[in-house]
Amino acid sequence: MTVRVTLVYNPTAGDEQHAGEDLVEQLAEAGYDARLLSNRKKIPRRLEDPGELVVVAGGDGSVKSVALALAGRGVPMAILPRFGDQPLNAAAVEAARAGLVVPGPERIGDTVAALLTNPAYAGVAAAIAVEVRASDWTSKARTSTVPNRGCGRTSHQM
């Protein structure tokens, strides 16, 4: 069975260190059926069928848009931070145990595998849906007040 992964890539958020097409290619080389969404417009509609996991390479707007679109669906996220506040946003998702930080583009396949082999991430992603919808998620990301829910290892332990 092929695992479907959606990459949400915002080409205007970051230093252009990682091209969306290159990231999709790395996912394909790791054995995943990856598709690319190259901006965050209309994310809810475009993520109606996200596959088993979503990788986000963008800023806080992209992460928030994806989190809201996935709320209640049990689909975990992998976040590839590139610059600015992106590492804080990624750390907040990981601290909430709704996903993992991708330590670098060369580790994208490993991170996806870690998320997919631990069903707790999907469960937590579903459980925090109400919190994400009811809160100012970006301020939580910036202050790291997202509750920590134990699911096992973090990206730093991969």
pTM for this prediction:
0.74
- In this predicted model, which residue has the larger pLDDT, 88 or 137? 88
Q: How many domains does the chain have?
A: 1
The three-class DSSP label of residue 44 is: helix
Range of the domain at 76: 4-157
3-state secondary structure of 139: helix
pLDDT, averaged across the chain: 76
* CATH number of the domain to which 17 belongs: 3.40.50.2000
Sign of the dihedral through C-alpha 138, 142, 146, 148: positive
Residue 36 CB neighbour total at 10 angstroms: 15
Q: Say yes or no to pLDDT of 151 above 60.
A: no
Consecutive H or E run containing 41: none
pLDDT digits (tens, 9 = 90+) for 37-94: 876 567 888 888 999 999 988 888 888 888 888 877 888 889 988 777 788 888 888 8
Strands laid side by side in the 77-79 sheet: 33-37, 4-9, 53-57, 77-79, 99-101
Report d(CA 148, CA 95) in Å as an integer: 5
